[in-house]
């Protein structure tokens, strides 16, 4: 028999449309293949700067996201009690009319009674603009429960952090150290970067209690005890300092190490010595001069009238034997010899294997350098560090480590992505001044430079419902989303009327203390009304949160709408190029749903909000596509930077009616390339600064020094010490003094009741699942249909666990009963599970007996949003005291073997959402 | 077609790098996505949103832990798909000739219109590389994306398997093992490419690249302090580090 | 391996049928007329019924004819041919016995051989599977043949022969249980060789590739509890061989007839175990070994 003849060149599809993926915030470019107008296949766009053709498991199964049976069908008005899932379908006119009926009068009387919080956002520049024009101070996105520690720690230290802020120089780095990352927002770039390092045989080091995923491929693994990274990092700095293996030239020129710290007692103690113009001073050649003068050679060892340099303060602190590896080893869970070996490796690669690029450049002082020296060690970190109550300081410590090694913005090290570098001073400060019927006095979120920027009312109480920018968490740059429902329910600091949520599953996996949150959402006051009177929610799918809202504004899926990944927001830049991108409707929705951004613009127009209506009161924009094209934030600067004006202008230029089409033709993205010679040393490189101004990233050059020592933090410390007019409440002073240390410190995470709850409990993101929404994907749910609790060998044996066993896991906040599995490559005091696999019965278009609901579970039931009462009688929120970042990973538990129940506990009654989905 | 060709012109296959695979499952769904609409019948799912979902995938990613005699345990991610064996037992057992190994490139395929769905080939495969489609009743297996690698409707650079194209870490390499100069042959030679269960006598074409040794003790000398800080004090250290003595 | 009823019914019944008919072909049960009709009818019913049962195992039974094409390499194809040839070769003998005409002994011999070759081919379908070490052993065809012959002799009412063959079957079964339990280890495949990671340390599963079910788990990774298997082994040996042997030893038509269902119960149990206890090496990838896990 002859071998069959097969067609090896079948036609792939009728048409390919290029847009941007959205099963996570990585924003890869995709080619959507269509057959007969239906999506038939999705692959990566090779020309796209983010993913260069690759896709992750979620991106490659996007077709199952677009066709999921859980998609919402039409606008909904609640008809049964909250949480029952009883809705009636209404028209868009009715839905928007209802929203206007609720929100219009509120704006004219008390706009702060609207709390508008957005979750898995990629359109903050629009949503914040809307909220600002509405006039409520109560706006934020999900960053507060996500990774604000990492973002703010980076911004306050070097003017950028990881992911959208910057990344390792994957091409040149020779040693890469990863702290606590399972997947990250930068999913594909990190994987691609790891692949490149591996192909070159470069060294990868993983610091993580759990050795899976990226840590599985690491050449060296450090199974750190959760919450102890700060101590580990400061110990590495100790070793480097003791050996003199720090980049002195770099520290002197580009950081605030040579600035003089005032030693005179009083309100300015610990602030920088400044001249009359407010310029910080350094000693150079024996003279006291502003730091940025041409020819200045700052002296790190200077003392001026008793004021010593930051360098000396820093060195003295970290040279202390308290930071010696031997002193920290037990707490960190890593042998002293391994800590020393890691420090030695870092020093060897940074200094002995330094690289040089023959590229001259001129710095902000006007000094010419004839080459670029690279220190090819790089780092990356995310929530493993962020999601602890000492995360801000730990993030600062990590940046300090990079800085003393001289790797930031040098070849082979860590590189910023435009619009970063951008130090705290270049960001807005937060605004909270409410005037009924008028916009807020400025943007909600920002980076406070001192107590003067806190959002407090006249009597010193928090002005925001989430208590962001209050003494509890002064630098809460992203807001404190995980406290919104609890505070609104408690009426602390005040009661609100309408909670408006977008794309956040707050009744389930993004809440702490989930069971109680569901109660808060359904709780009624004595008047029989809900304590949180109105809830508006936009989701695309039948999530748990849907059941708790009064009005649902159903969104499209990601292939059915416009989105804008903007330089005004979180762009898709690379170190070598500023970049932005769009999504556009590559298919039309087959249901009565609308893109949320367009709905928000419509709502803005109906409410007559400035920025959304013409002077005559007519809608300013047809829809979001129209807004993307025509909105201007500053003259000539709009949501998209590419193809402006006549189509040839970049960054700045008049709106171009063809702009969206040009993007579509270009693969849905645009890049403005950093010119040669401007690509390293960006914060100080004249060539870069000038380019950034040219394309509209800044309006004037803004070189700055890295903040080893943070003056803004010192200002809060001074307030805690009693200086200044804005004073913290007594109960907050001690905590502020400790937390706002201007040099990175380590303190044990809060809520650490080691005696009764000896085991750390963590979650990790599965690479093939996105929070709660991967489960509605028929392919992905076959990979992760339920989650066991992984238990290290010691605990496994001590409990006599065997495969198939179940355990009761108890925290101060409650208990769960869940299946266990053994994992050997795990910190011996740590258990963990995959995040957000567990589902409430009846949600997500799944059978109520789906494994996600019978065996899957959440750790969230064990996590409290408030810490247990301490001596001061206060219940502080379970957050970082600097930023308010939710401390998900401070959780400690007790674990014991129990008989297998029929289902994972607790079990909540099924939600009936059958009626709302397609 | 059940007899194996004595010789194939090429030996197309994959080199899978276990040192680099992070276990992301991208290759799993990319494979499913391509093959759901490509060669043969779709890869169906049963009870897709129900209590017991299951379905056909041509590529699965396992994750193992390895406990060495001393030192920390390791985790190694392990993709598993058809190895396009030279002595493919799945082919010779097939009663209908539906299973065959292509003469020109060594790809092992199922001609679905001849397949009776007896399952014998899946029994014969030691690697679990074949899954029967419950809806169509035909055997499905990795085609090495035979409808991509020669596809003239695709740009040249895309003529590689879907799983290779999507792999974010670049842990999957496609090429001709018959050509000693090919990238895959070179990788296999350089990185200790090995066969799975060689004693099964299947002579797999696909090679697995061994994970590099991990957690090596640091060979470099440790950092020596500049001086005894406790004895000389901070001032001594500062002078020394700033080069003043 | 998944003990699929269709395959168990097929292999037990058709083996018994062909064994029985081999004996009849060789003239061990000299019946004539309607008695012959019914006896051959039973033989055909068992053989053909078994074969039909086997097609319900197929995903696309309507294409079953294609299975005849690969006799040069495939034991399943050969089995198909052998079965058809045997059924054709036996037909004149059956007709002759029923209608009372003679068939040359060479033909009878050939037909009997074909019947037994069919059973052998059936056995080889399993024996050839290297990936299932328990099956991949010369004792597998011996066992199939022993079943066919012992069962055939029983049906052919050959008390003495049946007694001997049934005892032999018991021995084969016991030896097979003994060797079978060691076959997987002898094959030398472990999670270490399956993954190639064995030299680095002890390999175990950290995470399965999927929490959902799949064909491999259903078809190849059937795990039977060891306690359960032990009980069934006792039942199998007792019912398939020991009890019928004793009954044959006592003899008499009634007991001989009664021994047949007893034997069948044992045969089904044995064949169920033949599948259920057989471990496919693919289980190594899933860290699932019989008795190791529940
Ligand atoms: N596939 C997928 N991708 C995602 C998401 C998703 O759900 N799925 N979610 C996105 C979102 S919103 C976010 S915020 C990012 C988060 O991305 P990641 O930062 O990767 O977040 P997690 O998965 O929570 O991983 C936290 C890691 O930190 C480790 N860890 C915990 N505590 C410590 C510690 O004290 N020290 C150290 N060194 N490590 C520690 C944990 O073991 C885990 O590996 O991922 C984004 N990307
Ligand atoms: N235990 C534990 N809990 C955690 C974490 C942890 O590490 N451990 N991580 C925390 C972190 S960092 C985060 S960011 C949160 C994430 O938690 P959430 O922000 O709640 O994230 P999702 O589960 O993705 O929920 C987002 C909602 O958006 C909806 N959605 C999806 N696509 C669209 C769309 O196109 N339009 C609209 N309008 N809606 C859509 C989904 O259906 C879903 O209901 O979880 C937090 N919770
Ligand atoms: S990482 Fe995956 S889910 Fe996220 S945007 Fe890229 S392809 Fe989509
Ligand atoms: S896509 Fe690549 S890295 Fe991901 S599981 Fe597959 S082989 Fe491994
Ligand atoms: S891996 Fe299995 S299916 Fe693939 S050729 Fe080898 S034996 Fe056949
Ligand atoms: S299932 Fe199909 S391909 Fe496999 S052996 Fe049977 S007929 Fe051949
Ligand atoms: S080569 Fe093609 S068919 Fe084979 S595993 Fe890769 S994507 Fe799937
Ligand atoms: Mo997050």
pLDDT above 70 for C77: yes
Q: Report the C-alpha gap between A769 and A57 in whole angstroms.
A: 8
Q: What is the pLDDT of residue C294?
A: 29
Please tell me the number of Cα atoms within 13 Å of A572 on its side-chain side.
Answer: 29
Give every residue of chain B whose pLDDT is below 50, as ranges.
none
- Find out whether A72 and A541 touch, Cβ atoms under 8 Å: yes
At A788-804, the pLDDT tens digits run 999 999 999 999 999 99
Q: How far is the CA of A502 from the centre of ligand 2 (A)?
A: 10
Side-chain-side CA neighbours of residue A513 (13 Å): 19
Compute the CA torsion angle A239, A243, A244, A245 (nearest 10 deg).
-70
Q: Give pLDDT, residue C291.
A: 43
On the CB side of B48, CA atoms within 13 Å amount to 18
For B75, the token pair is 């985790």
CATH topology classification for A160-422+709-739: Dimethylsulfoxide Reductase; domain 2 (3.40.228)
The SS3 call for residue A699 is: coil
The sign of the dihedral angle between the CA atoms of C268, C274, C277, C282 is: negative
The tokens describing A344, both together, are 């030695």
Grouping H, G, I as helix, E, B as strand and the rest as coil, residue A280 is: strand
The predicted pLDDT at position B217 comes to 72
Instruction: Tell me which residues have their CB closer than 6 angstroms to ligand 7.
Output: B 31, 34-35, 58-59, 81, 142-145, 161-163
* Å between A42 CA and nearest CA of chain C: 22
Domain limits of chain A? 91-149+433-555, 160-422+709-739, 755-867+887-916
* Cβ within 8 Å, pair C293-A785: no
Q: Which residue has the higher pLDDT, B242 or A871?
A: B242
Say which of B19, B30, B226 has its CB closest to residue A55. Answer: B30
Work out the mean pLDDT of chain C and round it to a whole number.
94
The neighbours of chain B, by the rule of 3 or more Cβ pairs under 8 Å, are A, C
Which of A183, A194, A228, A887 for a ligand 1 pocket mutation test, highest count of atoms within 8 Å of Cβ? A183
d(CA C187, CA A416): 56
Give the confidence band of A164 by pLDDT, cuts at 50, 70, 90: confident
Q: What pLDDT shows up at residue A163?
A: 86
Confidence of residue C227 (pLDDT cuts 50, 70, 90): confident
For residue C70, what are the contacts with CB-CB under 8 A and spacing of at least 6? B1, B2, B94, B95, B96, B97, C77
ipTM of the complex: 0.97
Q: Which two tokens stand for residue A707?
A: 């903040």
Task: Report chain A's mean pLDDT, rounded to a whole number.
Answer: 96
Q: What is the pLDDT of residues A300-353, one digit of tens each?
A: 999 999 999 999 999 999 999 999 999 999 999 999 999 999 999 999 999 999
CA-nearest of A157, A681, A149, A205 to A400 is A157
Cβ neighbors of C246 (< 8 A, separation 6 or more) are none
Question: What's CA C130's distance to the chain center, in Å?
Answer: 17
HSE value, Cβ hemisphere, 13 Å, CA-based, for A271: 20
With respect to residue B182, please indicate whether it lies within any of the assigned structural domains: yes
Write the CATH number of the domain with boundaries A755-867+887-916: 2.40.40.20
User: What is the total count of domains within chain B?
Assistant: 1
The best mutation among A26, A149, A235, A384 to test binding of ligand 1, ranked by most ligand atoms within 8 Å of the C-beta, falls on A384
Chain A residues lying within 8 Å of C214, measured CB to CB: 782
Sign, CA dihedral B172-B174-B179-B182, equals negative
Residue A414 pairs in a beta bridge with A168, A408
Smallest CA-to-CA distance from A760 within A897, A887, A891 is with A891
Q: Is residue B112 part of a domain?
A: yes
Q: Mutual orientation of helices C75-99 and C33-55 as an angle, nearest 10°?
A: 160
What are the Cα distances from residue A452, in Å, to A456, A715, B151?
A: 9, 10, 65
Cβ of C212 under 8 Å from any chain A Cβ? yes
Task: Note the residue count of chain C.
Answer: 294
- In total, chain A counts a number of residues equal to 918
First to last CA, chain A: 49
- CA C43 to ligand 4 centroid distance, Å: 55
Residue B215 within a domain: no
Q: What is the pLDDT of residue A325?
A: 97
Pocket test for ligand 5, best of B2, B202, B205 (most atoms within 8 A of CB): B202
- What is the residue whose two structure tokens read 């480097």? A240
How close is the nearest chain A Cα to the Cα of B87, in Å?
Answer: 17
Domain range A91-149+433-555, CATH architecture: 3-Layer(aba) Sandwich (3.40)
Whole-angstrom distance, CA of residue B64 vs CA of residue B83: 19
Could you read off the pLDDT of C187-219 as tens digits, one per residue? Answer: 999 999 999 999 999 999 999 999 999 999 999
- Give the pair of three-digit tokens for residue B69: 């005699």
- Location of structure tokens 């045997």: C86
CA distance C5 to A296: 89
Render pLDDT for A82-120 as a digit per residue (tens, 0 to 9): 999 999 999 999 999 999 999 999 999 999 999 999 987
* A460-471 average pLDDT score: 97
Residue B237 within any structural domain of the chain: no
Helix (H) or strand (E) run with residue A552 in it: strand A551-552
3-class secondary-structure state, position A761: strand
Q: Give the lowest-confidence range in A229-243, A382-396, A512-526, B216-230.
A: B216-230
Condensed to tens digits (0 to 9), the pLDDT of residues A167-177 reads: 999 999 999 99
Two structure tokens written together for B112: 């679905």
Which residues, including other chains, have CB under 8 Å from residue C191's CB and lie 6 or more apart?
B64, C197, C198, C203, C204, C284, C285, C287
Q: What is the pLDDT of residue A408?
A: 98
CB spacing of A56 vs B168 below 8 angstroms: yes
Interval A231-287: pLDDT, tens: 999 999 999 999 999 999 999 999 999 999 999 999 999 999 999 999 999 999 999
pLDDT at C224: 78
The reply to whether ligand 3 has any atom less than 6 angstroms from the CB of A26 is yes
3-state SS of A352-399 is: HCCEEECCCEEECCCCEECCEEECCEEEEECHHHHCCCCHHHHHHHHH
C56 CA to chain B: closest CA distance, Å? 9
Per-residue model confidence (pLDDT) at position C293: 35
Predicted local distance difference test score (pLDDT) of residue C292: 40
Confidence of residue A868 (pLDDT cuts 50, 70, 90): confident
Contact (Cβ atoms closer than 8 angstroms) between residue A528 and residue A559: no
Sheet of B60-67: strand order equals: B74-80, B60-67, C202-207
Alpha-carbon span A713 to A265, nearest angstrom: 17
- Please tell me the predicted confidence (pLDDT) of residue A328: 98
Assigned token pair, A591? 């249901």
The average pLDDT across C234-250 equals 97
Print the domain residue range for B188.
12-209
Residue B235 located in a structural domain: no
* C265 closest CA partner among C8, C2, C1: C8
- The CA R_g of chain A, rounded to the nearest whole Å, is 27
List the domain boundaries for chain C: 1-128, 160-294
Kindly indicate the confidence band of residue C225, based on its pLDDT and cuts at 50, 70 and 90: confident
- For residues A534 and A102, give the distance between their C-alpha atoms in angstroms, rounded to a whole number: 8
Instruction: Check pLDDT > 50 for residue C289.
Output: yes
Pairing, β A303-304 against β A287-290: unpaired
CA distance C53 to C13: 9
Centre of ligand 4 to C-alpha A113, Å, is 48
Q: What is the pLDDT of residues A745-776, one digit of tens each?
A: 999 998 767 889 999 999 999 999 999 999 99
pLDDT score of A752: 66
Domain annotation covers residue B214: no
| Rounded distance between C-alpha atoms, residue A447 and residue A329, angstroms | 35
Residue A359's pLDDT band (cuts 50, 70, 90) = very high
Q: What is the CATH number of the domain that holds B18?
A: 3.30.70.20
């Amino acid at each position: 028999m002859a071998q069959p003849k097969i067609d090896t060149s079948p036609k792939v599809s009728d048409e390919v449309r290029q847009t941007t993926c959205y099963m996570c915030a990585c924003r890869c470019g995709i080619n959507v293949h269509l057959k007969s107008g239906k999506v038939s296949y999705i692959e990566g766009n090779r020309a796209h700067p983010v993913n260069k053709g690759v896709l992750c498991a979620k991106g490659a199964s996007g077709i199952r996201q677009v066709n999921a049976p859980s998609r919402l069908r039409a606008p909904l008005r609640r008809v049964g009690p909250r949480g029952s899932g009883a809705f009636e379908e209404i028209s868009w006119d009715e839905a928007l009319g209802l929203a206007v009926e609720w929100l219009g009068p509120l704006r004219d009387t008390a706009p702060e009674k609207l709390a508008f919080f957005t979750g898995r956002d990629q359109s903050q520049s629009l949503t914040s603009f809307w909220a600002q024009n509405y006039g409520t101070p109560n706006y934020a996105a999900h960053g507060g429960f996500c990774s604000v520690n990492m973002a703010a720690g980076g911004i306050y230290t070097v003017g950028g952090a990881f992911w959208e802020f910057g990344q390792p120089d994957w091409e040149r780095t020779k040693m890469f150290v990863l702290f606590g990352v399972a997947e990250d927002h930068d999913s594909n770039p990190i994987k691609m970067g790891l692949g490149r390092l591996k192909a070159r045989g470069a060294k990868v080091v993983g610091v993580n209690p759990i050795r899976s995923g990226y840590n599985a491929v690491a050449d060296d693994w450090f199974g750190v005890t959760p919450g102890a990274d700060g101590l580990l990092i400061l110990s590495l700095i100790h070793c480097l300092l003791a050996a003199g293996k720090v980049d002195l030239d770099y520290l002197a020129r580009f950081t605030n190490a040579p600035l003089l710290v005032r030693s005179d007692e009083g309100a300015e103690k610990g602030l920088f010595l400044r001249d009359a113009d407010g310029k910080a001073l350094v000693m150079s050649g024996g003279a006291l001069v502003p730091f940025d003068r041409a020819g200045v050679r700052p002296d790190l060892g200077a003392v001026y009238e008793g004021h010593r340099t930051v360098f000396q303060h820093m060195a003295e602190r970290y040279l202390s034997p308290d930071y010696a590896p031997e002193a920290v080893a037990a707490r960190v869970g890593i042998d002293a010899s391994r800590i020393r070996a890691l420090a030695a490796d870092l020093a060897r690669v940074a200094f002995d294997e330094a690289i040089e690029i023959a590229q001259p450049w001129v710095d902000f002082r006007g000094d010419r350098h004839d080459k670029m020296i690279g220190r090819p060690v790089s780092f990356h970190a995310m929530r493993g560090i962020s999601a602890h109550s000492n995360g801000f300081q730990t993030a600062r410590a990590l940046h300090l480590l990079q800085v003393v090694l001289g790797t930031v913005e040098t070849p082979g090290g860590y590189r910023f992505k435009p619009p970063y570098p951008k130090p705290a001073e270049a960001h807005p400060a937060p605004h909270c001044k409410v005037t009924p019927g008028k916009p807020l006095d400025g943007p909600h979120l920002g980076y406070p430079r001192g107590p003067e920027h806190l959002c407090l009312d006249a009597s010193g109480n928090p002005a925001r419902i989430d208590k962001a920018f209050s003494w509890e968490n002064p630098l809460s740059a992203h807001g404190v989303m995980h406290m919104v429902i609890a505070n609104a329910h408690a009426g602390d600091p005040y009661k609100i009327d309408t909670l408006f949520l977008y794309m956040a599953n707050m009744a389930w996996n993004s809440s702490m203390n989930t069971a109680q949150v569901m109660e808060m959402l359904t709780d009624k006051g004595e008047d029989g009304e809900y304590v949180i009177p109105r809830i508006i929610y936009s989701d695309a799918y039948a999530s748990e949160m849907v059941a708790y809202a009064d009005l649902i504004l159903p969104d499209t899926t990601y292939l059915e709408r416009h989105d804008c990944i903007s330089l005004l927001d979180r762009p898709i830049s690379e170190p070598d190029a500023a970049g932005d991108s769009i999504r556009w409707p590559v298919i039309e929705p087959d249901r009565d749903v609308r893109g949320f951004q367009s709905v928000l613009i419509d709502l803005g127009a109906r409410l007559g909000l400035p920025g959304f209506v013409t002077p005559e009161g007519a809608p300013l924009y047809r829809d979001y596509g129209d807004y993307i094209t025509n909105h201007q934030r500053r003259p000539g600067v709009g949501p998209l930077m590419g193809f402006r004006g006549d189509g040839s202008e970049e960054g700045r230029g008049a709106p171009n009616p063809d702009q969206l089409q040009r993007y579509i033709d270009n693969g849905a993205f645009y890049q403005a390339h950093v010119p040669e010679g401007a690509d390293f040393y960006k914060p100080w490189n004249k060539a870069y600064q000038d380019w950034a101004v040219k394309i509209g990233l800044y309006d004037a050059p803004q070189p700055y020094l890295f903040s080893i020592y943070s003056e803004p933090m010192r200002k809060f410390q001074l307030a805690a010490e009693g200086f200044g007019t804005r004073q913290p409440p007594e109960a907050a002073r001690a905590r502020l003094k400790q937390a706002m240390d201007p040099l990175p410190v380590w303190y044990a995470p809060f809520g650490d009741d080691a005696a009764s709850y000896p085991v750390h409990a963590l979650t990790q993101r599965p690479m093939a699942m996105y929070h709660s929404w991967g489960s509605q994907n028929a392919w992905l749910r076959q990979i992760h249909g339920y989650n066991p609790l992984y238990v290290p060998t010691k605990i496994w044996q001590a409990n006599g666990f065997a495969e198939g066993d179940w355990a009761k896991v108890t925290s101060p906040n409650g208990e769960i009963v869940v299946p266990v599995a053994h994992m050997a490559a795990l910190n011996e005091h740590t258990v963990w599970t995959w995040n957000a696999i567990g589902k409430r019965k009846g949600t997500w278009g799944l059978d109520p007996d789906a494994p996600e609901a019978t065996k899957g579970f959440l750790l969230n039931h064990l996590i409290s949003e408030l810490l247990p009462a301490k001596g001061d009688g206060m219940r502080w929120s379970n957050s970082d005291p600097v930023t308010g970042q939710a401390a998900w990973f401070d959780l400690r538990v007790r674990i014991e073997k129990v008989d297998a129940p029929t289902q994972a506990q607790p079990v909540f009654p099924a939600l009936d959402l059958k009626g709302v989905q397609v | 077609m059940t007899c194996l060709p004595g010789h194939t012109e090429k030996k197309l296959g994959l080199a899978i790098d276990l040192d680099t695979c992070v276990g992301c499952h991208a290759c799993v769904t990319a494979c499913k996505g391509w093959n759901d609409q490509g060669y043969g019948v779709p890869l169906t799912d049963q009870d897709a949103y129900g209590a017991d979902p299951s379905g056909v995938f041509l590529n699965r990613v396992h994750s193992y832990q390895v406990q060495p005699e001393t030192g920390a345990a390791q985790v190694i991610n392990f993709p598993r798909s058809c190895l396009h064996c030279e002595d493919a037992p799945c082919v010779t057992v097939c009663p209908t000739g539906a299973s065959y190994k292509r003469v020109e490139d060594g790809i092992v395929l199922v001609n679905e219109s001849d397949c009776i769905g007896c399952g014998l080939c899946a029994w014969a495969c030691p690697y679990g590389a074949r899954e029967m489609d419950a809806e169509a009743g035909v055997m499905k297996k990795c085609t090495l994306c035979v409808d991509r690698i020669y596809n003239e409707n695709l740009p040249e650079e895309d003529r590689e398997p879907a799983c290779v194209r999507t792999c974010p870490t670049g842990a999957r390499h496609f090429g001709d093992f018959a050509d000693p100069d090919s990238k895959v042959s070179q990788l296999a030679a350089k990185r200790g490419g090995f066969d799975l269960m060689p004693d099964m006598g299947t002579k797999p074409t696909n090679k697995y690249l061994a994970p590099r040794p991990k957690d090596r003790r640091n060979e470099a000398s440790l950092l020596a302090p500049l001086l005894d800080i406790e004895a000389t004090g901070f001032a001594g250290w500062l002078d020394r580090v700033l080069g003043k003595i | 391996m998944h003990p699929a009823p269709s395959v168990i019914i097929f292999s037990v019944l058709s083996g018994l049928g062909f064994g029985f008919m081999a004996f009849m072909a060789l003239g061990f049960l000299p019946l004539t007329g309607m008695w012959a009709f019914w006896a051959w009818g039973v033989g055909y019913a068992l053989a053909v019924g078994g074969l039909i049962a086997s097609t319900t195992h197929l995903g696309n039974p309507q294409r079953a004819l294609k299975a005849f094409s690969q006799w040069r390499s495939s034991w399943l194809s050969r089995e198909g041919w052998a079965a058809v040839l045997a059924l054709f070769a036996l037909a004149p003998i059956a007709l002759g016995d029923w209608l009372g005409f003679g068939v040359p002994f060479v033909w009878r011999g050939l037909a009997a051989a074909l019947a037994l070759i069919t059973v052998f081919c059936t056995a080889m379908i399993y024996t050839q599977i290297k990936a299932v070490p328990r099956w991949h052993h010369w004792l597998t065809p011996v066992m199939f043949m022993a079943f066919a012959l012992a069962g055939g002799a029983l049906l052919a009412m050959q008390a003495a022969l049946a007694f001997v063959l049934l005892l032999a079957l018991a021995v084969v079964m016991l030896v097979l249980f003994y060797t079978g339990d060691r076959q997987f280890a002898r094959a030398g495949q472990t999670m270490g060789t399956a993954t190639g990671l064995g030299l680095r340390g002890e390999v175990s599963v950290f995470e399965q590739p999927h929490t959902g079910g799949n064909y491999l788990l259903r078809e190849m990774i059937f795990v039977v509890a060891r306690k359960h298997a032990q009980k069934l082994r006792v039942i199998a040996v007792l019912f398939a061989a020991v009890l019928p042997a004793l009954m044959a030893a006592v003899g008499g038509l009634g007991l001989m007839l009664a021994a047949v269902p007893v034997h069948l119960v044992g045969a089904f149990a044995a064949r169920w175990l033949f599948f259920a206890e057989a471990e496919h090496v693919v289980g190594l990838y899933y860290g699932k070994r019989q008795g190791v896990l529940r």
